[in-house]
Each structure stands twice: as structure tokens, then as C-alpha cells.
Amino acid sequence: MSKILILPGDGIGKEVINECLKIIDYFQAKVPIEITEDLFGGASIDENGMPLTKDVLDKALEADAVLLGAVGGPQWENLEHDLKPERGLLTLRKELEAFANLRPAKVFPALINASTLKQEIVEGTDIFVVRELTGGIYFGEPRYNKKVEGKRVGANNLIYNEDEIERVARVAFEIARKRSKKLTSLDKANVLEVMQLWRDVVTEVHQKDFKDIELEHLYIDNAAMQVIKRPSTFDVILAGNLFGDIISDEVAELTGSLGMLPSASIGKDKAIYEPVHGSAPDIAGQNIANPIAAILSLAMLYKYSLNLDNISETIEKAVSKTLDDGIRTKDIGNKNTVTCTEMGDKILKNLAKIDSKEA
Ligand code: IPM
Ligand code: MG
């Protein structure tokens, strides 16, 4: 039986994960899964004094996959970096070696008006960001914010070796091969040596094994502009940890709401699934969050970790159907909006209908 560790985390993380649990529960009869739930992020700091305990990390290492809500909030913002909720997330990614972060951003036809861009620009946009997740400036040493000879100095280190670049590039090329065979790699090779290495390695992997894929290199600053100008011409975007973090939020906004976007962080044999959005302390506890990003992350879990493509597609169809029905949470609608719980229930209802038709 597959084992899944659920870490709701903080803020709206708990609310959106609740809606996922209903769906997991629905499929228990078909595909039994062993579920364990634990504290993570700020919730774990309050209880245990640290964002990720050894015990929870061990459970994550034993599980087939981790489903995560979100971490962070103002009450933990002033803690030292190593004790912040975010550090727990980074440690979890690193320890599970979840090096390839997959962030699909698709414009749902029913939501085309939710985008801040003109309809004719965003129409047809379907971008798949592959972000390197366990290296680069997030983890480079030395890192500090300290006094050096009487002056405060801060430093982080953007460092990649060729193996780290190659393994994530391969994941991105493989995904491109299953989609429209187009990959755009982002760097800053005109200024940073490490990014020249990035470009060189991506080019070599392309030449060696992926000549059937159309490869484009863009500098990150230009890419930030092009993505707004011609979003529908992009397909797979490959980027390092920091550039990928930034571009994925930008791409998310194209689709109308960050509340819609799922992610999977894949390693050799472990994976973490989480919505791209954060813990949103400003709306936490009000039952108005959009659970779709979390629910679509669960769909990715069924697909990538459990190889249950059917279930994954049924969940995606149920989400689309619910949006087609005009059901909207506050972030994507303005009148007659539903709560987080209601959105979850509507999706579940549609899911049961679709599932019974297909069975
Ligand atoms: C993300 C988030 C995280 C990151 C934070 C919460 C550590 O922004 O998953 O994109 O920077 O990776
Ligand atoms: Mg981010």
C-alpha cells in the first residue's frame, strides 16, 4: 500500500489540504493509501521549536510522497533564518533530493477573464516551468548576514555543478518531448560565469540526446518581458532555483490566479506536492481560500508518484467542470462566490459523477 505523508503547515495550507483529504477519502475504496498527518512549518515551531523535526523528516523519507499545504506567517518572520518555517521547506526539499520542481500554468478557458492581460494575449497559454530546486543560491555556501570589520555584510552564493544542471535539464527535455517539443532555458550567461556553465550544459544535453526538441536560450530579464508579451508561444521553461522561483509566480499570474497552480517536486524516488501559493495569512481562517491549486497538486501526486493517470485525469476534469459550471472562489470571481469548503464539495460531487460514468 502506498504511503503518503500529509503536512498541512500554516495559514490556508490547512484549509486547502482539508479539501484534498475529501478526495483521497473518496478514492480510498479503489486505491487504498496509508495516510499520516503531521506538523510542519510554523505549526511545528510552536509545538516543537523547529519547523521540521527529525521525526517528521524520517516519516517523509519513508513515505512514497508528501502532500504539503503551505508554510509561514507574520508571527515567525523575525526568527533567525535557520529557524524560520521556510527553512523547514528548503530542508525537506534538499533531504528528499526533490531537485526538479514542476509548475504547470495553464489558462482555463472558463477563467480567461481573470487574467490581468488582454484575452487575445493569454488565450491558449499553457506553460510548464521546470525549476531546479535543491541547488543554486538557495543552498550555496557561504551564506551569512554578519559584521565584518565593523560593517554589516550579507552574502549568498550562486553555485551549480554540471551534474546538477544536467539532471534537471534532462527532466525538462523529457517533459518537452511529451508536449510540443519546445524548451526555453533561462540564464544570465552574459554576466554570471555560473550561468554560462548552465547554458553550456543545457546545450550539450540537447546536442547529445534531445535534438528533436527546439531549444531557445533567453536571459532572465528578457524572458520576464517576453512571457508577458507572448505567453502563448512558450511551452516548457527551464530555470535555476532563484530565476525559476520568480518566473513561476509571473507565469502564475498570467493564468489569473496563483490559487489555481499546483506543483510537484520530483527526485530520484521521492516527491513533494504542494500548491504554488503560500500560506496567505491575510485570508487564513476565513474559509475563502481557493483549494484548486492543492487539489491539482494531489492530481499530480496520483500521476507522478502512484502512476494512476486515470485518477489524476478524473480530478482534473472535475476541476474544469466545476469552473465551467461557474463556481468561483473569491480570488477568481466577484459575485456569488463560494467558500473553500464549498468549492471542495462541488469538485468532489463532479468527480463522483465523472468517475461513475467512466467506471
Ligand atoms: C516557492 C516559495 C518558496 C521558495 C519559499 C516559501 C521558501 O516561494 O515555493 O516558490 O522560495 O522556493
Ligand atoms: Mg516562490
List, for residues 8-36, the tens digit of each pLDDT value: 999 999 999 999 999 999 999 999 999 99
Residue with the larger pLDDT of the pair 140 and 255: 140
State the pLDDT at residue 259: 87
Measure the CA–CA gap between 248 and 331, rounded to whole angstroms.
18
* Ligand 1 atom 7, closest CA: 86
Position 112 confidence tier, pLDDT thresholds 50, 70, 90 = confident
The mean per-residue pLDDT over the stretch 259-269 comes to 92
pLDDT-based confidence at 170, cuts 50/70/90? Answer: very high
Output the CA 22–ligand 1 centroid distance in Å: 26
pLDDT of 88 > 90? The answer is yes
| Rounded Cα–Cα distance for residues 132 and 139 (Å) | 12
Q: Which atom of ligand 1 is nearest to the CA of 93?
A: 12
Query: Among positive and negative, which fits the CA dihedral 169, 174, 179, 180?
Result: positive
Q: Which amino acid is located at 52 in the chain?
A: L
The answer to whether the CB of 17 falls within 8 A of the CB of 67 is: yes
The proportion of the chain whose per-residue pLDDT surpasses 90, expressed as a percent, equals 90
Q: Does the CB atom of residue 86 touch ligand 1 within 6 A?
A: yes
Residue 271: in which H helix or E strand, if any?
A: strand 271-273
Residue 182 CA from chain centroid, whole number: 21
| Strand stretches in 107-246, DSSP E | 126-132, 144-148, 151-155, 182-187, 214-219, 236-239
* Best residue among 77, 89, 133 to mutate for probing ligand 1, ranked by most atoms within 8 Å of CB: 89
Q: What is the pLDDT of residues 56-85, one digit of tens each?
A: 999 999 999 999 999 999 999 999 988 999
pLDDT digits (tens, 9 = 90+) for 309-356: 999 999 999 999 999 999 999 998 888 999 999 999 999 999 999 999
Q: Is the CB of 261 under 6 A from ligand 1?
A: no
Catalytic residues: 138, 188, 221, 245, 249
C-alpha span between 52 and 44 (Å, rounded): 7
Is the Cβ–Cβ distance between 294 and 16 less than 8 Å?
yes
Counting residues of the chain whose pLDDT is more than 70, the rounded percentage is: 100
| Mean pLDDT of the residues in the chain | 96
Using omega within 30 degrees of 0 as the cis cutoff, is the peptide bond preceding 142 cis?
A: yes
- In this predicted structure, what is the pLDDT of residue 358? 81
Beta-sheet pairing, 126-132 with 100-106: antiparallel
- Res 113 pLDDT > 90: no
Q: Atom of ligand 1 at shortest distance to CA of 278?
A: 6
**Of the candidates 130, 122, 123, 128, the residue with the CA atom closest to the CA atom of residue 179:** 128
Alpha carbon of 61 to ligand 1 centroid (Å): 21
Asked if residue 164 has pLDDT above 80, the reply is: yes
Q: Give the pLDDT confidence score for residue 255 in this predicted structure.
A: 84
Q: Which grid coordinates are listed for 192?
A: 554570471
d(CA 201, CA 178) in angstroms, rounded, equals 21
Neighbours of 63 (CB within 10 A): 22
Per-residue pLDDT at 300 = 97
Neighbouring-strand partners of residue 9: 70
40, 76, 245, best to mutate for ligand 1 pocket (most atoms within 8 Å of CB): 245
The pLDDT of 132-137, averaged and rounded, is 98
Q: Which atom number of ligand 1 is nearest to the Cα of residue 71?
A: 6
Query: Burial, 33: exposed, middle or buried (Cβ in 10 Å; 0-12, 13-18, 19+)?
Result: middle
Å from CA of 45 to ligand 2 middle: 21
In this model, does residue 212 exceed pLDDT 90?
A: yes
Ligand 1 center to 115 CA (angstroms): 22
Residue 268 has a pLDDT of 85
Q: Summarize the confidence of residues 227-246 as an average pLDDT.
A: 97
In single-letter form, the type of residue at position 352 comes to: A
Give yes or no for a contact between 265 and 124, defined as CB atoms under 8 angstroms apart.
no
Which of the pair, 115 or 167, is modelled with greater confidence? 167
Mean pLDDT of 281-307: 97
